[in-house]
Amino acid sequence: MTGTVANEGAVTATWPEAVMPHRELKQVLRSGQFAVTAELSPPDSADPIEVYKRAALFSGYVDALNATDGSGANCHMSSVGVCALLTRAGYSTVMQISCRDRNRIAIQGDILGAAAMGVRNILCLTGDGVQAGDQPDAKAVFDFDSISLLETVRYMRDESRFLSERKLSTPPDVFTGAAANPFSPPVDYRPQRLKKRLRRVPSSYKHSIVLICPVWKSTCARCAISDCTSGALS
């Protein structure tokens, strides 16, 4: 797929054709294959070409591109904006949603908007505290944490309703995931939290390690995960 981007009525550039595997991330994971995604850091810019240039580096090498949502509590182009641009260009995307910056009303709207633009994967994150970023005086929201956000996406998708019980005419067709870091203290608490997430939405998982090490094997064993080598790697 190719196309053009216009700026104030004038065509400024043509986006490159995406070279991605012709398979959905959900299909890869559910078939038991090992999936590879890459985090795409959104630019500090309103120019879509900067997004396409970064994405082109990964064409043909990953199953999906993961658009971060204000990572490190720093402001960049929004994850929903990046995913909309990349989906239009033919890339498979994972949209991150951080609970730090928006309340449940805004997040539910973003879920519907992203699904309408073709985003099929959502990664649910609690988010870093605002003190970690370059605007520490910003007001943190945290209306959800990652567990309640997972449940919200599942409820909208499977029950076709907002949290208010208002009916959705078309639910979001999205595949959900979360993140696990078995090395983050307190280490003994991590398997418990992973279990809670898997109970909410046992459909997908992303783990933030690159080697199948003893700590991760132990975490999987305590969560009754039989195959600690499957999942998505980023």
> Contact, 146 vs 180, CB < 8 A?
no
Structure confidence at residue 191 (pLDDT): 72
Structure confidence at residue 234 (pLDDT): 42
| Domain boundaries defined on the chain | 19-233
Structure confidence at residue 35 (pLDDT): 84
Structure confidence at residue 132 (pLDDT): 94
Pairing of strands 121-125, 206-207: unpaired
Which sign does the torsion angle of CA 141, 146, 147, 148 carry? positive
Predicted TM-score (pTM) of the model is 0.79
How many CB atoms within 10 Å of residue 17? 13
Out of 3.40.50.720, 3.30.479.10, 3.20.20.220, 3.30.70.890, the CATH code matching 19-233 is: 3.20.20.220
Low-confidence ranges of the chain (pLDDT < 70): 1-22, 189-190, 193, 196-234
